[in-house]
């Protein structure tokens, strides 16, 4: 039986654990926030698994990987939209010195972020959905992913990043890509019989 919600939730937790490990090894300690990371990962995974199961009557590995790639692309486009819409009002050094989430910048970028989320949900629902319920489900998933993963991306255009610190953007998107690769792989491992077309009796 295909249980995309269960598998999505478990895979989300696995990917959050992997994220904390990668962050620990290459950037800084994040074990203190592991419970919050696991919760966020589980919620994101639940939403992705739920909407995939809702939108795809015949799940396959290719469609699953493509579906995940679209959401990674969505976050990349959010960063691009931020750069195109905004002018820098602070520097990356000042942002790092604040030692906390950029709440003021997130608020400033919020109208663009909300509009972007609505548009992306409409595009994804157009590609895969056929009803208002499908759009609502995709919109919820987009909103959750943007809220839990994309708010720091939404402020990129408001921050001046010199060439010597561009690597920090590469780290950010590299972590998001790694997070999704682990998630997609874990989900596929849990549902391999279905995704590969071998239905149990």
Tell me the pLDDT tens digit for each residue of 78-96. 999 999 999 998 888 787 7
pLDDT at 127 over 70: yes
Question: Which distant-in-sequence residues (6+ apart) come within 8 Å of 86 by Cβ?
Answer: 108, 109, 112, 157, 158
User: What total number of domains does the chain contain?
Assistant: 1
CA-based radius of gyration for the chain:
18
Q: Residue 50: inside a domain, yes or no? A: yes
Residue 95: give the domain boundaries.
Answer: 4-195
pLDDT > 90 fraction of the chain, expressed in percent and rounded = 55
pTM, two decimals, is 0.88
- Give the pLDDT score at 136: 94
Max intra-chain CA distance, the chain: 60
pLDDT at 150 over 80: yes
Q: How confident is residue 161, by pLDDT bands cut at 50, 70 and 90?
A: confident
Q: Residue 201: inside a domain, yes or no? A: no
Joined tokens for residue 3: 């249980």
Q: For residue 16, how many C-alpha atoms fall within 13 Å in the half-sphere facing its CB?
A: 23
> Which residues is 23 bridged to in the sheet?
none
Spatial contact of 83 and 166, defined as CB atoms under 8 Å apart: no
Least confident residue range of 39-48, 70-79, 172-181:
172-181
């Amino acid at each position: 039986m295909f249980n995309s919600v269960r598998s999505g939730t478990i895979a989300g937790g696995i990917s959050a654990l992997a994220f904390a490990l990668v962050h620990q090894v290459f950037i800084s300690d994040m074990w203190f926030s592991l419970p919050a990371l696991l919760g966020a990962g589980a919620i994101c995974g639940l939403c992705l698994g739920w909407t995939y199961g809702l939108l795809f009557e015949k799940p396959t590995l290719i469609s699953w990987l493509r579906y995940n790639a679209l959401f990674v692309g969505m976050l990349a486009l959010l960063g691009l939209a931020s750069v195109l819409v905004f002018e820098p009002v602070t520097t990356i050094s000042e942002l790092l010195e604040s030692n906390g989430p950029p709440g003021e910048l997130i608020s400033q970028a919020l109208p663009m972020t909300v509009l972007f989320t609505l548009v992306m949900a409409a595009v994804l629902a157009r590609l895969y959905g056929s009803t208002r319920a499908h759009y609502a489900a995709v919109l919820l998933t987009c909103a959750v992913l943007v809220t839990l993963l994309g708010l720091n991306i939404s402020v990129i255009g408001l921050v001046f990043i010199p060439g010597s610190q561009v690597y920090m953007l590469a780290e950010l998107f590299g972590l998001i890509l790694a997070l999704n690769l682990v998630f997609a792989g874990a989900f596929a491992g849990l549902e391999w019989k279905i995704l590969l077309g071998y239905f149990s009796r």
